[in-house]
Amino acid sequence: MAEIDLQKIVSHCKEYGFIFPSSEIYDNLGAVYDYGPMGVELKNAIKEYWWKSMVQMNDNIVGIDSAIFMHPTTWKASGHVDSFSDPLIDNKDSKKRYRADVLLEEKIEKFKEKGLKELAKKGISETETDDVKAKASRDYNKGLILEAEYIKAAEAGDLKRYKELIEEYEIACEVSGSKNWTEVRQFNLMFATKLGSLEESATDLYLRPETAQGIFVNFLNVQKTSRMKIPFGIAQIGKAFRNEIVARQFIFRMREFEQMEMQFFVRPGTELEWFDKWKKIRLKWHLALGTASSNLRFHVHEKLAHYANAAEDIQFRFPIGFKELEGIHSRTDFDLTEHQKFSGKKLQYFDSELNQNYVPYVVETSIGLDRMFLRVMSESLKEEQLENGETRIVLNLPPALAPIKVAILPLVKKDGLPEKAKEIYNQLRFVGRTFYEEKDSIGKRYRRMDALGTPFCITVDHQTLEDNTVTIRERDSMNQERVHIDQIESIVRKQVDMNQLLQKAMI
Ligand code: GAP
């Protein structure tokens, strides 16, 4: 099976109506994308998988849908106005802009990867301690030294030191190849806009850079109206906006994207226990999709945000390497305490078992819906070499996520076959998105359905008119079987049922 690179995924998404560049007729808007007819179905199926497993199947988690616009003080309280920024550096020759922290993290990763290769040759395992690995490999040791320096600089917010490290470690611009860098400076990622009609009296607003704050400010509204008892969670799916500077990786890093976030409110002192529980729950959710466990790993944050006492990412092996897919963060009582301070309103919970009021601690799980879409595409898109020498492009999506569940294909456009096929279509559309197609040869139609990820194709032929049987073709095996029309619904329903995934994720 051929390796699929990011460019192939981008082309496939465009060609088959999954994702288009935004405002393409005006030459696109950078790092903004539109989902097409197939894309929106797949995206909705991912949302459904998350929402059902998170909200509908947990009696201690409820959902909300808060507004994108929030009172401007929200972002002061949350710390976004003062510190939601990236350290940027420009190369003076190419004029290309980079994130200084990313340049350093990539360099650390390169040293470590080179070191691990050296260690493998010496028969030393990856699971050895850093001490052992550093002694046996110079590159691994260099990676650890740079990492320690970088963390020190990050914790001190020392941008001058970032630049010194970039120069000391001779990091060059990938375009000009030069090491001629500007100073490092902070750049806030929030988009500002105005509320009100008159410029002078209008209020400055921000487009939310995360959905989480809509949950924090509604904490008491939800807790009281839903009579929730700690521990409990509030979840939501919604748009977030960030003025990303390094945004070249398709839907991996976008300026407008969607998040699926859940804040879990717990008794102070129990947060690390819940942090571990949520890591396990979320990993199981990802593995239920049939992913090889070697494609997923936890990454411990090198530098913790000032409000967190634990943070890890679930990384996925994207075609661009292992990258963050989801964050699991123990955010302490920081957000609720800050909102109390800035609003002057109490955001406390009365714990009747302890007979005590307190500000709950929070464990958050936060996943980018678009990044999850890219992950599903990355592992599903395959180029297969067939025995007859032809190449087949197939999207072997988990059937529950497939945009089209079943295609009804009359063999020819005459002899009453379209009419019979439409009868079957009318019956099957209650199972899930059903597609009817009579154009092109049957082989071409099968190939198109494979590329769209359709798990089943039903072919209606002359025999169907005689004995009410059809051919059902399964996407991955390409096996074809003759079955009675009455059997189709149960065969398809069994495979495309979201419960199949949910049971794997939750039991
Ligand atoms: N509330 C916590 C929070 O927002 P984050 O690590 O900044 O944490 C959470 O973002 C998730 O949102 C990431 O793991 C990623 O999947 C997604 N995400 C963040 N920035 C993104 C971007 N520019 N484009 C697409 N997805 C993004």
Phi-psi region of 301 (alpha: psi -120 to 50; beta: other; left: phi over 0): beta
Helix (H) or strand (E) holding 233, with range, is strand 232-241
Residue 298 pLDDT greater than 90, yes or no: yes
Confidence of residue 2 (pLDDT cuts 50, 70, 90): low
Contacts with 231 (C-beta within 8 Å, 6 or more apart), sequence order? 60, 264, 265, 266, 267, 270, 274
The conformation of residue 440, written as its DSSP 8-state character, comes to S
CB of 75 closer than 6 angstroms to any ligand 1 atom: no
| CA–CA separation, 237 and 54 (whole Å) | 11
Share of the chain above pLDDT 70, in %: 98
Count Cβ atoms within 10 A of the Cβ of residue 389 and give its class: 0-12 exposed, 13-18 middle, 19 or more buried: exposed
Asked whether the predicted pLDDT for residue 235 surpasses 90, the reply is: yes
Q: What is the pTM of this model?
A: 0.89
Percent of the residues in the chain that have a pLDDT greater than 90, as a whole number:
88
Q: pLDDT tens across 38-60, in order?
A: 999 999 999 999 999 999 999 99
Mutate to test the pocket of ligand 1, among 32, 371, 373, 374 (most ligand atoms within 8 A of CB): 371
Residue 338 near ligand 1, beta carbon < 6 Å: no
Residue nearest to atom 4 of ligand 1 (CA): 210
* CA distance linking residue 108 with residue 103, whole number of Å: 9
Q: Using most ligand atoms within 8 A of CB, pick from 102, 297, 316, 324 the residue to mutate for ligand 1.
A: 324
Q: What is the pLDDT of residues 66-111, one digit of tens each?
A: 999 999 999 999 999 998 998 999 999 999 999 999 899 999 989 9
pLDDT band at 210 (very low <50, low <70, confident <90, very high): very high
For the ranges 33-42, 192-201, 324-333, 356-365, the lowest mean pLDDT is seen at 192-201
- Is residue 493 scored above 90 in pLDDT? yes
In the predicted model, what is the mean pLDDT of residues 318-325? 94
Check: CB of residue 102 under 8 Å from CB of residue 248: no
Q: What is the mean pLDDT of residues 234-251?
A: 91
Q: How remote is the CA of residue 307 from the centroid of ligand 1, in Å?
A: 17
Burial class (CB in 10 A: 0-12, 13-18, 19+), 355: exposed
Report whether residue 328 contacts ligand 1, using a CB cutoff of 6 Å.
no
pLDDT tens, position by position, 383-423 = 999 988 999 999 999 999 999 999 999 999 999 999 999 99
Q: Is the pLDDT of residue 199 over 80?
A: no
Q: For helices 417-428 and 485-496, what crossing angle results, to 10°?
A: 40
CA-nearest residue, atom 12 of ligand 1: 368
**pLDDT range class, residue 498, cuts 50, 70, 90:** very high
What does the mean pLDDT of the chain come to? 94
